[in-house]
Amino acid sequence: MPLGSLVHQLQHATLTTELVRRTRQGQQQGQRLCLCGGVRVARALVTSALARQQERSLLVITPTVEEAGRWTGLLDTMGWPTVLLYPTSEATPYEGLDPTSEITYGQLQVLAELLRGQEPLVVVASERALQPHLPPKAVLQANCLTMGRGNATDLSTLAHRLGQLGYERVNTVEQEGTWSRRGDIVDVYPVSAELPVRLEFFGDELDKLREFDPASQRSLDTIEQLWLTPKGHDPLIAQVLRTAIPPGLQSLLGDQALASLQDGQTPRGLRRLLGYAFPQPATLLDYMPSHGLVVVDERRSCLAHGQQWVDHAASQLEDLQAEMDHPAAAALVRGVMHLPMTTCLERVDRWEGFDLAELDTAEGHPHHVSIGARPVPCLPNQFGKLGKLVRDQKRQRTHLWLLSAQPSRTVALLEEHDAITRFVPNAQDRPAIGQLLEQGTPVALKATGVADLEGVALPAWKVMLLTDREMFGQHSLASSGYVRRRRRAASRTVDPHKLQPGDYVVHRLHGIGRFLKLEKLSLSGEPRDYLVVQYTDGLLRVAADQLGSLGRYRANSEQPPKLNRMGGSAWNKAKERARKAVAKVAMDLVKLYAERHEARGHAFATDGPWQADLEGSFPYDPTPDQLKAIVAVKRDMEAPRPMDRLVCGDVGFGKTEVAVRGIFKCVTDGKQCALLAPTTVLAQQHWRTIRDRFAPYPIKVGLLNRFRTATERRELIQQLAAGALDVVVGTHQLLSKGTVFKDLGLVVVDEEQRFGVKQKEKLKTLRK
């Protein structure tokens, strides 16, 4: 949160207090204020300052989903404890297509945070969130399951409750919306959480709650409480439908869905019946804290974008009603599922808050105040001019903030041009920052992943912000929190602009298909992009806003896959086979780990005087991470079971020294060691390093690669077999059939991922 301290300075300014007074006064007079005249960074800074001064939660409405993402990344850097992106879909409620699981689960994650009542927080959403699309707040809250340590819970009752909420029972919990039970342990993956939770019972009492890794199934941190929302809105709609199913609804749903409802299950595609189940569906506003602030960014754009969607939804509803045979069925989908955008914004105006606009004029807004933000000059690598800019701002008593991914270098470069700045390592050290600013010294902070950030001047607050964009011409990356939330969804979806005709894709319902083209179709007068995907029995058109239902096709084989039939059983059978195969791999891994744990190996002796002497000859001070890895390796070597450890680190971070110390420990205990490298150059480098480090000791080090003559290779292999060679460094030549060790104690593999499957199988035989 590198900009948290800057927001803290702004929120205590006299001008901020005056703006708070004016927004409240305008609200009381029915005149919503518009703060205008500033790029997005300036608007975000001022908005955060106003909200933080009042200690109130914040809802920011933007014209588009893309803008919402940019706002989320910015606000994530401004000191807020929680910043949430509320995802929305372009699809209308009358298309018969459910939003993707990423959108539904993302919405539930935000709603769960709002229901918990933890404040202050920020929610960012596009104008689509103002449309009715949610069950009433009281209904969702009543159907959330809360469990804490010490609670008494009957496991059979818990299983029934999870089924009611739409959670699917599986053997191993790996995906959101699933659960499993093994004796007194229940695993469940809430759709509103980042990680699944393991519930450990003692009888009927919940004894422990721990998050766990869905990939490794290993338990992680202990938590105090589990908050579980339904798996989407369909289970809530199904509860209402089971009480009474009118004839019109029966013809609309079909026999299969009706049978599922009667069996207590939740069929797909109930989302468009939200208006029937709940005559007054809720909007995101209904879930916000009553004393929260609601801010609308670029109201005119929100109105224009929102009304286009409303017109399209109205046209689709008319078409749907015209297609229905039964008049009762047409009435059932007439729920209040879309409202004129003017009505949505009128609802917003009942909340305390303000509007934002980039242009100073705020065209179309009768009550506007300019915040006077100004762009700063972009002078990439022109530190003479940047130094003059810093000195000028200091003379004008402007508080200058420098945000850079390389702050120490920035400070040094500016100092060469008589511009004195100071780097504060802790961006939250407000006393140190405040003291420097009071002295007129510009403050440099470390940029830790900020989204779409650029410099800005706020003359009215006597503040200027410079970033790497102005100083080095570099754009910052998205914030770590925003990336973490989006990475999982992005990895599973396809980019239509990167698809080529003939590429294979996977639809979550229909399976493997072949992408043909991207085409634009005009349905009900509204042009939209569609991906055309070929299946065995026809073509499927997937709207661009439903790309979450498509994934990339990946396979080890170069053979083209067989296309599935739409709605056929082959795809479901393939998924079931894959699930069983994954389960088998998991069991094999468990068996392997058990065998490793039970296997007996050579326990190396503790360090002797030579070990201390070798380590003392290292010309550098080991880093804390290096020391940690060295201690872990030695501990494993001294244990009575075989070591199988991975040491990770970037180039230049000291992995070789960790290996050198382990190899020396092995050899001084009377064992042989092999170091395997993927290339001849790497092998040569390692051989020289080990030879030079071990030169003072009676240790013989050999090199085996393709540059050795046949005679040299034969002599070296004979020395290995006789025990006359202590350490051998080599490439894949080491894995040849004739290589035999007399007493091998340690194998070190550099960049193991660069070796093939057959070579790794040979490695396994070396380790035995």
Q: Per the domain annotation, does 376 fall within a domain?
A: no
Query: Dihedral of CA 20/25/29/34: which sign?
Result: negative
| 168 in Cβ contact with 178 (< 8 Å) | yes
CATH number of the domain encompassing residue 507 = 2.40.10.170
Q: Which residues pair with 550 in a beta bridge?
A: 507
Q: Are residues 418 and 544 part of one domain?
A: no
715-721-726-729 Cα dihedral, nearest 10 degrees: 60
Are 727 and 636 members of one domain? yes
**Per-residue tokens: 150:** 């010490």
Taking CA atoms, 500 is separated from 425, 467, 489, 517, 533, in Å, by 47, 38, 21, 8, 12
More confident: 691 or 592: 691
pLDDT at 483: 44
Kindly report the pTM of this predicted structure. Answer: 0.65
Residue 458 bridge partners (DSSP)? 463
- Looking at 179, 200, 228, which one is the last position of a domain? 228
Q: How confident is the model at residue 762 (pLDDT cuts 50, 70, 90)?
A: low
Q: Give mean pLDDT, residues 625-639.
A: 91
Q: What are phi and psi of 618, to 5 degrees?
A: -65, 120
Please state the length of the chain.
Answer: 768
Is 477 a residue whose pLDDT tops 90? no
Alpha carbons 388 and 461: distance in angstroms, whole number: 21
Amino acid at 325: D
Structure tokens at 480: 């770590």
In a domain, 654, yes or no: yes
Who wins on pLDDT, 380 or 361? 380
* 207 and 343 part of one domain: no
467's CB contacts (< 8 A; 6+ apart) are: 402, 403, 404, 447, 450, 453, 454, 455, 476
CATH code where residue 352 lies: 3.40.50.11180
Within a domain: residue 739?
yes
CA gyration radius for the chain?
32
CA-to-CA separations, 84 to 28, 108, 344, 451, 549, in angstroms, rounded:
29, 11, 21, 14, 23
- Is position 527 within any domain? yes
DSSP calls for 360-419 = TT-TT-SSEEE---B-----TT-HHHHHHHHHHHHHTT-EEEEEESSHHHHHHHHHTTT-
**pLDDT of the residue at 279:** 83
End position of a domain, from candidates 206, 228, 250 = 228
How confident is the model at residue 431, as a pLDDT?
A: 92
CA distance 55 to 73: 21
Given a contact cutoff of 8 angstroms between Cβ atoms, the answer to whether 140 and 229 are in contact is yes
Beta-strand pair 205-212/197-202: antiparallel
Q: Cα separation of 161 and 543, whole Å?
A: 35
CA–CA separation, 287 and 57 (whole Å): 12
Q: Are residues 613 and 748 in the same domain?
A: yes
**Residue type at 541?**
R
Residue 215: which CATH number? 3.30.2060.10
Q: Among 359-373, 628-642, 672-686, where is mean pLDDT lowest?
A: 359-373
Q: What is the pLDDT of residue 691?
A: 93
Over range 182-198, report the average pLDDT.
Answer: 92
Q: Which of 86-90, 218-222, 398-402, 547-551 has the lowest mean pLDDT?
A: 547-551
Does residue 448 have a pLDDT over 80? Answer: no
Is residue 586 very low, low, confident or very high in pLDDT (cuts 50, 70, 90)? confident
Give dist(CA 168, CA 179) in Å, integer. Answer: 6
106 and 158 share one domain: no
Residue 572 lies in a domain: no
State mean pLDDT over 596-623.
86
pLDDT of residue 494: 61
Percent of the chain clearing pLDDT 70 (strictly above): 88
Higher pLDDT pick, 605 / 768: 605
Report the largest interatomic distance among the alpha carbons of the chain, rounded to a whole angstrom.
Answer: 97
pLDDT in tens, 83-117: 999 999 888 887 766 777 888 899 999 999 999 88
**Can you tell me the mean pLDDT for 686-699?**
92
Instruction: Determine whether 162 is exposed, middle or buried from the number of CB atoms within 10 Å of its CB (0-12, 13-18, 19+).
Output: buried
Residue 408 has pLDDT above 70, yes or no: yes
| Higher per-residue pLDDT: 308 or 325 | 308
Identity (one letter) of the amino acid at 263? D
63, 302 Cβ separation under 8 angstroms: yes
Q: What is the pLDDT of residue 611?
A: 92
What pLDDT shows up at residue 556? 60
Contact 456, 376 (CB under 8 A): yes
Average pLDDT, the chain: 85
Q: Is residue 249 part of a domain?
A: no
Cα angle 631, 652, 615 (rounded to 5 degrees) comes to 40
Give the 3-state secondary structure of residue 107: helix
Whether residue 203 has pLDDT greater than 70: yes
- At residue 479, the pLDDT reads 44
Q: Which two tokens stand for residue 476?
A: 């910052």
Pairing of strands 219-223, 205-212: antiparallel
Q: How high is the pLDDT of residue 177? A: 92
Question: Do 216 and 325 have their domain in common?
Answer: no
Paired tokens of 259 = 């049978």
> Please, which residues have CB within 8 angstroms of residue 527's CB and are 6 or more apart in sequence?
520, 521
Range of the domain at 659: 609-767
> Within this chain, do residues 613 and 747 fall inside the same structural domain, yes or no?
yes
- What's the first-to-final CA gap in the chain, in angstroms? 50
* Predicted pLDDT at 522: 66
Q: Compute the average pLDDT of residues 304-324.
A: 81
Other Cβ atoms within 10 Å of 727 Cβ, number: 24
Check whether residue 176 and residue 271 sit in a common domain: no
Position 378 pLDDT exceeds 50: yes
Instruction: Assign 3-class secondary structure to 460-474.
Output: HHCEEEEEHHHHHCC
Highest mean pLDDT of the ranges 93-97, 378-382, 648-652: 378-382
Q: Which residues contact 748 (CB under 8 A, 6 or more apart)?
A: 659, 662, 663, 673, 674, 675, 676
pLDDT tens digits, 411-423: 999 998 888 999 9
Which uninterrupted H or E stretch holds 435? helix 430-438
What mean pLDDT do residues 289-300 have? 94
Q: How far apart are CA 469 and CA 6, in angstroms?
A: 18
Lowest mean pLDDT among 80-84, 608-612, 755-759: 755-759
pLDDT in tens, 17-39: 999 999 998 888 888 899 998 88
Q: How far apart are CA 122 and CA 58, in angstroms?
A: 5
Where residue 655 sits, what CATH number does that domain have?
Answer: 3.40.50.300
- Count: domains in the chain: 5
Domain end marker among 404, 439, 472: 472
Is residue 440 located within the same domain as residue 555?
no
Distances (CA, A) of 432 to 205, 349, 407, 426: 49, 41, 16, 9
Q: Are residues 215 and 276 in the same domain?
A: no
DSSP 69: H
CB-side neighbour CA atoms (13 Å) of 248: 14
* 329 assigned to some structural domain: yes
pLDDT tens track for 702-747: 998 877 888 888 899 999 999 999 999 998 878 877 888 899 999 9
Single-letter amino acid code for the residue at 678: P
Check whether 757 has a pLDDT greater than 60: no
Whether residue 217 is found in the same domain as residue 323:
no
Top-ranked range on mean pLDDT: pick from 33-47, 353-367, 437-451, 509-523: 33-47
Backbone angles phi, psi at 52, to 5 degrees: -70, -35
Whether 513 contacts 550, CB under 8 Å: no
What is the tens place of the pLDDT at every residue in 217-263?
Answer: 988 989 999 999 999 898 998 888 888 776 666 666 777 778 888 77
Q: Are 133 and 86 in contact (CB under 8 A)?
A: no
Q: Give residue 478's pLDDT.
A: 44
Could you tell me what percent of the chain has a pLDDT over 90? 44
Same domain, 293 and 161: no
Q: Return phi, psi of residue 430, to 5°.
A: -65, -40
Buried b (16+ CB within 10 A) or exposed e, 611-632: beebeeeeeeebeeebeebbee
Residue 59's pLDDT band (boundaries 50, 70, 90)?
very high
Best CA proximity match to 657, nearest among 684, 704, 625, 635: 625
Closest by Cα among 234, 236, 165, 193 to 105: 193
Can you give the CATH number for the domain in which 424 is found? 3.40.50
The answer to whether residue 106 sits within a structural domain is yes
More confident residue, 660 or 272: 660
DSSP strand pairing (225-228 vs 145-148): antiparallel
Write out the H or E segment, with its range, that includes residue 312.
helix 299-323
pLDDT at 548 over 60: yes
- Measured between alpha carbons, how far is 155 from 568 in angstroms, rounded to an integer? 36
Give pLDDT tens digits for 132-181: 999 999 999 999 999 999 999 899 999 999 999 999 999 999 999 999 99
